[in-house]
Every structure is written in structure tokens, then in C-alpha cells.
């Protein structure tokens, strides 16, 4: 069992900024907009998730990444992140159910958070288990910071 550490939204692009709660719909997190909808968003990329423990490990390496800075909507903790993969299902809070569809390719807009601009540090191909993931929304609802996250 894990916890929802941060919910993040923006008017497009990164970083995304924390909000205490948000409604999660099939189209994504309300209040959030993607800068490039051809690459981000849509039903199979409605919600981007990342691990607080991975972010903290990256910070320990000297990177300035922080929750929300790489564009994730939900930053979770207490989840064995290396086991989260396409097909994984997560329940967030009382009602929201998500299914991981794909790993999220790192974007050059994230270069500023990484030593020497090496944003490939969060590439699943180069560093398995260190990537963000995209999920589709199976069940809509509201999420709040501190909600329980269960990997089903």
C-alpha cells in the first residue's frame, strides 16, 4: 500500500504545480493541460504517474528534479515502482482506478532538472524502473493528497 504524495497540474508544459485535490476523469486530471496534445494526453495517456522514492534517489545523485517538475500528475510513495508496468492497475483514494498503459518517454523540456541536461536518466529503455508511466482512467473520481494508493 502506498500514498498519494502530490497532485500536480499546469496550463501546459512543465513544471506542474501542486494542488490539494483534483477530479480525475477519463480525459485526465481536471485543471491540467498538456503543452503538446499530439504527444501527451488522450485516453491512454490521461494521467502521468511517478514515484517519490525515484525522485528522491535522483535528487541524491545531484539532479534538481522535484515532484511535478517532470510533468507527472500523481506522485506516489510506498509503491514498489520497478514493478509498475503496462497492465498494472492502481486504486487511488476511494474511487479512482487507473490502468498503466505505457512508460513515458522523457522529454527535452525535462533537461533542466538533470545534471548535464541528461533527461534520458528517466528513460525506461536506458534505465529500467526509473521512468514515469501513463495510465488510462478506468473509474473516475476525486483524489486528495494523502489518499491511499493500492496496486491491484
∠ CA 150-81-26, rounded to 5°? 55
Q: Which residue has the cell 502530490?
A: 6
Task: Specify the number of domains making up the chain.
Answer: 1
Q: Alpha carbon of 12 to those of 38, 46, 107: distances in Å? A: 13, 14, 14
Q: 59 in helix, strand or coil?
A: helix
How many CA within 13 A on the CB side of residue 28? 23
Sign of CA dihedral 70, 12, 8, 25: negative
Q: How far apart are CA 54 and CA 14, in angstroms?
A: 18
**pLDDT at position 95 over 80:** yes
Q: Is the pTM of this model over 0.85?
A: yes
CATH number, domain of 121, equals 2.40.33.20
Q: What is the mean pLDDT of residues 126-142?
A: 97
pLDDT digits (tens, 9 = 90+) for 24-35: 999 999 998 765
DSSP state of 30: T
Cα–Cα–Cα angle for 81, 39, 113, nearest 5°? Answer: 55
Q: pLDDT of 42-81, one tens digit each?
A: 688 899 999 999 999 999 999 999 999 999 999 999 999 9
Residue 41 has pLDDT above 80, yes or no: no
The more confidently predicted of residues 107 and 60 is 60
Hey, which residues does 100 pair with through a beta bridge? 135
- Domain, as residue range, for 28: 2-151
- pLDDT exceeding 70 applies to what percent of the chain? 94
pLDDT computed for residue 11 by the predictor: 87
Q: How far is CA 112 from its chain centroid?
A: 18
Tell me the average pLDDT of the chain. 93
Amino acid at each position: 500500500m502506498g500514498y498519494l504524495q502530490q497532485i500536480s497540474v499546469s496550463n501546459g508544459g512543465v513544471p506542474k504545480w501542486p494542488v490539494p485535490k483534483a477530479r480525475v476523469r477519463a480525459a485526465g486530471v481536471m485543471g491540467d493541460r498538456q503543452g503538446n496534445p499530439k504527444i501527451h494526453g488522450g485516453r491512454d495517456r490521461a494521467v502521468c504517474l511517478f514515484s517519490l522514492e525515484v525522485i528522491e534517489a535522483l535528487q541524491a545523485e545531484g539532479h534538481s528534479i522535484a515532484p511535478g517538475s517532470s510533468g507527472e500528475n500523481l506522485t506516489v510513495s510506498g509503491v514498489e515502482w520497478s514493478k509498475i508496468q503496462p497492465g498494472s492497475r492502481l486504486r487511488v483514494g476511494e474511487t479512482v482506478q487507473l490502468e498503466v498503459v505505457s512508460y513515458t518517454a522523457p522529454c527535452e523540456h525535462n533537461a533542466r532538472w538533470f545534471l548535464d541536461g541528461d533527461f534520458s536518466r528517466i528513460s525506461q529503455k536506458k534505465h529500467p524502473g526509473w521512468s514515469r508511466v501513463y495510465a488510462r482512467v478506468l473509474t473516475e473520481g476525486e483524489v486528495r493528497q494523502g489518499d491511499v494508493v493500492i496496486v491491484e
